[in-house]
Amino acid sequence: GENVEQHPSTLSVQEGDSAVIKCTYSDSASNYFPWYKQELGKRPQLIIDIRSNVGEKKDQRIAVTLNKTAKHFSLHITETQPEDSAVYFCAATLYAGKSTFGDGTTLTVKP
């Protein structure tokens, strides 16, 4: 099965700085890589995703990059704001809807 490693487990940045979270996956057949944001006490919600035939995708202040050869993908948040503080999960999807999640990164943005 698929295995996903996520780093770092915690990340603290100053407001306005950039934040980068990295994930690696094990199975080269994985073809869909979503990122979820979970605010304290709430459910995870999809914020951005990328398919295996795309190298980079951007949506306003967030972007995701994928390196299929190295089997890693990253989430980039620019101009961070206090409301970006949350737990972020990466995931890799191998087949039939089943996504494997990383262990999460707790991002704290200090005002």
Partner 1 sequence: NAGVTQTPKFQVLKTGQSMTLQCAQDMNHEYMSWYRQDPGMGLRLIHYSVGAGITDQGEVPNGYNVSRSTTEDFPLRLLSAAPSQTSVYFCASSYLDLAVTREGYTFGSGTRLTVV
Chain residues in the site for partner 1 (CB under 8 A): 9, 31-32, 34, 36, 42-46, 49, 51-52, 89, 93, 96-104
Q: How far is the CB of 96 from partner 1 (least distance, A)?
A: 5
88: amino acid identity, one letter = Y
Nearer to partner 1, 17 or 51 (CB): 51
21: amino acid identity, one letter = I
Nearer to partner 1, 24 or 34 (CB): 34
Return phi, psi of residue 71, to 5°.
55, 50
Q: How far is the CB of 100 from partner 1 (least distance, A)?
A: 8
**Encoded tokens for 52:** 């295996």
Nearer to partner 1, 18 or 54 (CB): 54
Nearer to partner 1, 31 or 78 (CB): 31
DSSP 8-state symbol, 50: E
